[in-house]
């Protein structure tokens, strides 16, 4: 769609319904605002310049002034001139960037709002943002899993480059509200840099602050202090729970209000909590309380939520939200057999029609990957990327489109890293999720298919408003082969139709060929007409379009080839189709002008002004089908299409929403070849492209014909005139792009010269725990009570130690009859706890997980005292070194988030324990020292408490000992290994790196710290993770870096871990300007 300008007064015909502006003569009923339609014969639209948008607000009162307003407004409208919009697809791409406030939109129907703003409205088809009908095409991104704010722009640019226009974002209460009364939006916890990056990129945001978010994170995101300090049931209307989340929610409101779409920001909706049933009544009242806080604030955008299943929750009744959404993960989460598919869900549309047909069909979470679990049989994320790979995206995403969904968010688009204590016990450090953008920010094999879909959706405004007509099993669509299943969606204004085809058996790998009866403006007939049929490969879907518009005035009567791009570039209507190189496809379209280039490998037959084009098998690469002064039609195989980009040419920054497609711009170009094209600008006759290269490529550009010079990352490039002549005679540019020779020169430094120190002095005689916390509580708000003991509660969170490693010391007097001790220890799935008496190793209790099976989150073991280990008649000390794997998420048991991490039972075979002492992270959650890295970064190891993991700590007095030598004397215990290395990477390069341990099964656990950040937890006896990506910004690309490994040998035997720094790619480009924020060691509070 092109922007309307006030100077265009041609073609004075009445716009279609979907072109007209919103009628401001609205009403508010039951908290919803319905904008009534007015007879189209009475109203005409006058489009204002985009730079001068007219405000659009519902009147608040309806007295005499209201009547006068209505009368005056209607009279004004009656005398307005009529001007047809110059939208490239006029039927349903609403452009109200500068609309008079009194304009009809949908004859006989109204738009609905929440009564608080008219900048976000909706009908049964889609959202209407600032008067524009918008298809929300979104991906999930959690900024807290990429704790380098400068890199958030990198992710958003990659999201935008794939044709997406939105992201969905959780914020994390446990990080932002680490202790009672503390709300911290500094550093990576900040929202403002994300909102600014979204504005800079042109990305909408659905903000999901919880306070419960699930997200495979500890306690589902609920602040850890809440789990022990709140007695009432979480996620209900309990008064102390309500008091607990108030500060956090008020904080996110304060940060978000100025970034709502109503104030020129990216936030278009806010989600209430996450995946929660509406019953019992305490749940509903909890939602109502959350909603009331928003209603009593300056938040005006709609409130949404996500139903975890087809439960019809939150549509009506107490706590009902403005817009209902359904989450769906049809392939589930076991990546062990990535070639085994579940069938597609077939009742999406009928469920929608049965529960909320008056709203747009919204999927707040649709499967974009899968999480992976601990254990030796866990497959790893590469297998998850196969399970939910390009074929899955093609079949399952298009099945979602066939259900008429118009708000779709893929979870995850970028997963990131669950560093520190972020994970819940069911997942390990990596949260790669098998996403299209990998944890290290590289584009994966899944990305091109999402891009093909994204550019099609961006090019197809007729698709934003469609009726579900029927499918081939219901008799509304006719196919020649019942092995094919086709659903028909049709735009009610333009009659553009979208036949979405898949295999009837969506899991089959067989090839199916069929013909399809279509209804078009030229009549009803069977397609294809000149080739044998439409071919569906195994696990493949296609969209066959009819009466499809492209550019300012061009039409496709039908196409069995797929649409990558449709629009206008430099005054020409441009269409880019693609297909399978092993099969034929066909399109019929109106070709205008005199062709100057016609491609080979195709057959053209013209009749009655329509040209039928047959694309023969074997086409590889890009070919030109039609090149005239009026039109350019291109075709390629699917893989080549996946190498093309369509960066937008944004308006200048004085235009509101300048970077947003449909709002600040409807201009774009085509660029093929580079690894990534981040953005493009045209100044005068120069096209400036910015992006990333990792190899030599042929650059292909289709741009306005007044572009005479092209630059790549600021460097002019020379055209290949001969190659251009085979592409187009107008607006084309072909050149060779090569990364600089510097790309080949990077080699990772070796990690050598390790220094070693013992990090378990707690088991040595003479160690004093006098400054530790006395563990003497006899009551707890955690509902899972101790199993046995003397009534004392030994749960870490009750003493301020809710995460990572916690140490317990139990004092007792021994006699000759003291033979053993029993402990029940709870640490969560895949945990471990090692026990000593005095300085003698007793044993290790192992939690377990084998790919989320055989889960053991607590143990109950008897530990026998070896001869000579006890001091009879004197004080003896039991030391328990326990790993806390995170707090559970909500589940079938009430308050599972209040996980009883610690010792649930303690009992000597004879006698009683004296004092119990406990030590975790220095300062606990109220007085932890590292305010930058935050509350979840450190644990209670001696080395952590002393700050040995931090840059700048002096280890020169430590022993030289290589990490691969393990602990001295093959003992069980904990040692700290520290080394440093330098990096010198020039600006203008993005170099993903990982720290890679040995891929062996040994009885050790290790924690990896890079410049003070805990970036990995390696559990060698379980796996599967042994490679840990670390981002620039944590790594200093130009300076000294400190890496520390806390090595926990769980058995008295030699362990031989190895660690190396590996480079996974070198990309010339990147976003640049990445700052480090890695506070160094200070003795303050550490001694």
User: How far is C-alpha 956 from the chain's CA centre?
Assistant: 43
Longest dimension (CA), the chain: 108
Give how far Cα 615 sits from Cα of 332, 467, 525, Å: 38, 30, 20
Give how far Cα 344 sits from Cα of 347, 348, 398, Å: 9, 10, 10
Annotated catalytic residue: which of 275, 291, 857, 1068? Answer: 275
Q: Are strands 602-607 and 610-615 parallel, antiparallel or unpaired?
A: antiparallel
User: How far is C-alpha 132 from the chain's CA centre?
Assistant: 25
**Looking up tokens 């403005």, which residue turns up?**
322
Is 365 annotated in the active site? Answer: yes
CB 683 within 8 A of CB 670: no
Residue whose C-alpha is closest to residue 507's, from 310, 369, 331, 639 = 331
CB 487 within 8 A of CB 477: yes
What 3-state class would DSSP assign to 802?
coil
Residue whose C-alpha is closest to residue 602's, from 618, 590, 591, 582 = 618
CB 557 within 8 A of CB 586: no
CB 704 within 8 A of CB 571: yes
Burial profile 154-179: b = 16 or more Cβ within 10 angstroms, e = fewer: bbbbbbbbbbbbbbbbbbbbbbbbbb
Annotated catalytic residue: which of 19, 365, 439, 944? Answer: 365
CB 480 within 8 A of CB 515: yes
Give how far Cα 1028 sits from Cα of 1036, 1050, 1058, Å: 16, 22, 13
Give how far Cα 1064 sits from Cα of 697, 962, 1029, Å: 20, 25, 9
Rounded CA-CA distance 923/1085 in Å is 9
Radius of gyration of the chain (CA): 31
DSSP code of residue 661: B
Give how far Cα 343 sits from Cα of 96, 204, 340, 373, 502, Å: 41, 32, 10, 23, 11
CB 1021 within 8 A of CB 1050: yes
Residue whose C-alpha is closest to residue 827's, from 940, 711, 952, 987 = 940
Report which secondary-structure segment, H or E, holds 253. Answer: helix 239-256
Is 586 annotated in the active site? Answer: no
Q: Could you write out the three-class secondary structure of 325-340?
A: EECECCCCCCCCCCCC
528 cis-preceded (ω within 30 degrees of 0): yes
Cβ neighbours of residue 954 under 8 Å, at least 6 residues apart? none
CB 593 within 8 A of CB 631: yes
Q: Where are the beta strands (DSSP E) in 730-819?
A: 732-737, 755-758, 773-774, 794-795, 806-813
List, edge to edge, every strand of the sheet that includes 602-607. Answer: 467-471, 484-490, 497-503, 542-550, 554-559, 585-589, 610-615, 602-607
Q: Which residues pair with 569 in a beta bridge?
A: 572
Cβ neighbours of residue 389 under 8 Å, at least 6 residues apart? 338, 445, 446
CB 588 within 8 A of CB 554: no
Cβ neighbours of residue 111 under 8 Å, at least 6 residues apart? 22, 34, 35, 105, 121, 122, 123, 128
CB 277 within 8 A of CB 312: no
Residues that are catalytic: 275, 365
């Amino acid at each position: 769609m092109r922007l309307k300008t006030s100077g265009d007064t041609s073609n004075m015909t009445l716009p279609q319904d979907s072109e007209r502006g919103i009628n401001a003569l609205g009403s508010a009923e039951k908290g919803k605002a319905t904008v009534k339609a007015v007879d189209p014969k009475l109203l005409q639209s006058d489009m204002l310049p985009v730079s001068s948008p007219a405000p659009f607000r519902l009147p608040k009162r309806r007295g005499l002034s209201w009547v006068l307003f209505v009368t005056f407004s209607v009279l004004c409208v009656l005398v307005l001139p009529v001007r047809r919009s110059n939208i490239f697809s006029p039927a349903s791409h609403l452009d109200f960037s500068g609309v008079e406030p009194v304009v009809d939109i949908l004859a006989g129907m109204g738009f609905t709002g929440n009564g608080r703003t008219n900048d976000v409205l909706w009908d049964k088809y889609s959202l209407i943002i600032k008067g524009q009908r918008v298809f929300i095409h979104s991906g999930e991104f959690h900024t807290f899993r990429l704790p380098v704010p400068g890199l958030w722009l990198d992710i958003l640019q990659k999201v935008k480059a794939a044709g997406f226009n939105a992201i969905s974002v959780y914020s994390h209460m446990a990080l932002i509200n680490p202790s009672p009364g503390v709300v911290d939006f500094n550093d990576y916890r900040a929202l403002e840099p994300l909102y600014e990056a979204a504005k800079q990129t042109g990305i909408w945001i659905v903000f999901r602050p919880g306070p419960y978010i699930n997200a495979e994170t500890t306690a589902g995101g609920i602040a850890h202090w809440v789990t022990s300090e709140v007695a009432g049931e979480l996620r209900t209307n309990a008064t102390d729970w309500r008091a607990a989340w108030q500060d956090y929610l008020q904080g996110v409101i304060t940060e978000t209000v100025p970034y709502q779409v109503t104030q020129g920001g990216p936030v278009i909706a806010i989600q209430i909590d996450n995946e929660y049933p509406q019953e019992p009544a305490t749940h509903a009242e909890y939602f109502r309380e959350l909603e009331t806080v928003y209603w009593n604030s300056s938040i005006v955008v709609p409130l949404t939520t996500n139903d975890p299943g087809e439960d019809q929750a939150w549509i009506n009744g107490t706590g009902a939200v403005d817009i209902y959404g359904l989450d769906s993960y049809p392939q589930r989460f076991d990546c062990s057999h990535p070639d085994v598919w579940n069938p597609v869900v077939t009742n999406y549309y009928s469920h929608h029609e049965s529960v909320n047909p008056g709203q747009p069909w919204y999927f707040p979470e649709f499967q974009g990957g899968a999480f992976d679990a601990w254990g030796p049989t866990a497959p790893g994320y590469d297998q998850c990327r196969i399970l939910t790979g390009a074929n899955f995206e093609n079949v399952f995403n298009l099945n979602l489109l066939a259900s008429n969904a118009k708000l779709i968010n893929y979870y995850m688009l970028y997963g990131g890293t669950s560093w520190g204590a972020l994970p819940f016990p069911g997942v390990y450090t990596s949260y790669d999720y098998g996403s299209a953008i990998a944890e290290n920010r590289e584009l994966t094999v899944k990305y091109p298919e999402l891009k093909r879909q994204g550019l099609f959706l961006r090019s197809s405004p007729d698709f934003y408003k469609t009726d579900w007509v029927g499918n081939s099993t219901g008799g509304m669509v006719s196919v020649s082969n019942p092995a094919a299943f086709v659903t028909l969606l049709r735009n009610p204004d333009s009659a553009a139709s979208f036949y979405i085809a898949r295999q009837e058996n969506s899991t089959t790998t067989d090839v199916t060929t069929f013909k399809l009866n279509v209804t078009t403006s030229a009549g009803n007939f069977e397609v294809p007409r000149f080739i044998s049929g439409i071919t569906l490969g195994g696990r493949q879907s296609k969209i066959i379009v009819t009466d499809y518009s492209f550019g300012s005035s061009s039409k496709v009567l039908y196409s069995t080839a797929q649409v990558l791009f449709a629009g206008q570039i430099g005054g020409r209507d441009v269409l880019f189709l693609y297909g399978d190189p092993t099969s034929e496809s066909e399109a019929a379209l109106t070709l205008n002008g005199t062709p100057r280039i016609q491609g080979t490998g195709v057959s053209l037959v013209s009749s009655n002004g329509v040209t039928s084009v047959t694309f023969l098998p074997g086409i590889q690469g890009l070919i030109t089908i039609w090149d005239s002064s009026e039109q350019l039609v291109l075709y390629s195989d699917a893989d080549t299409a996946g190498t093309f980009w369509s960066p937008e040419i944004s308006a200048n920054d004085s235009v509101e929403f300048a970077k947003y497609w449909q709002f600040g711009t409807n201009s774009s170009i085509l660029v093929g070849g580079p690894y990534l094209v981040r953005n493009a600008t045209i100044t005068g006759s120069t096209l400036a492209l910015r992006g990333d290269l990792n190899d030599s490529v042929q650059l292909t550009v289709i741009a306005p014909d007044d572009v005479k010079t092209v630059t790549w990352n600021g460097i002019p490039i020379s055209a290949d005139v001969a190659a251009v002549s085979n592409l187009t005679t107008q607006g084309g540019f072909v050149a060779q792009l090569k990364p600089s020779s510097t790309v080949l020169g990077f080699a990772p430094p070796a990690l050598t010269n390790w220094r070693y120190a013992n990090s378990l002095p707690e088991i040595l005689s003479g160690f004093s725990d006098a400054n530790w916390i006395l563990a003497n509580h006899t009551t707890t708000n955690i509902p899972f009570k101790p199993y046995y003991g003397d009534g004392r509660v030994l749960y870490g969170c009750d003493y301020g130690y809710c995460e990572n490693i916690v140490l317990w010391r139990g004092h007792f007097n021994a006699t000759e009859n003291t033979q053993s001790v029993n402990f029940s220890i709870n640490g969560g799935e895949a945990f471990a706890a090692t026990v000593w008496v005095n300085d003698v190793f007793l044993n290790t209790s192992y939690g377990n997980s084998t790919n989320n099976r055989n889960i053991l989150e607590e143990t109950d073991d008897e530990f026998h005292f070896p001869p000579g280990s006890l001091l009879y008649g004197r004080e003896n000390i039991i030391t328990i070194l326990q790993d806390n794997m995170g707090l559970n998420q909500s589940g079938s048991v009430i308050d599972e988030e209040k996980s009883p991490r610690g010792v649930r039972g303690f009992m000597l075979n004879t006698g009683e324990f004296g004092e119990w002492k406990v030590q975790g992270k220095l300062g606990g959650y109220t007085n932890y020292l590292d305010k930058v890295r935050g509350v979840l970064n450190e644990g209670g190891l001696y080395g952590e408490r002393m700050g040995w993991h931090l840059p700048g700590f002096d280890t020169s007095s430590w022993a030289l000992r290589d990490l691969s030598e393990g602990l001295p004397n093959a003992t069980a215990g904990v040692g700290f290994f520290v080394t440093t290395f330098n990096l010198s990477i020039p600006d203008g390069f993005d170099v993903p790196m990982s720290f890679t341990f040995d891929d062996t099964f040994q009885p050790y656990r290790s924690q990896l710290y890079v410049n003070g950040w805990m970036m990995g937890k390696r559990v060698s006896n379980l796996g599967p993770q042994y490679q840990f990506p670390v981002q620039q910004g944590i790594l200093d690309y130009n300076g000294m870096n400190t890496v520390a490994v806390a090595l926990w040998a769980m058995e008295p035997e030699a362990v031989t871990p190895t660690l190396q720094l590996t480079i996974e790619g070198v990309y010339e480009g990147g976003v640049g300007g990445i700052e480090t924020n890695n506070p160094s060691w200070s003795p303050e509070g550490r001694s």
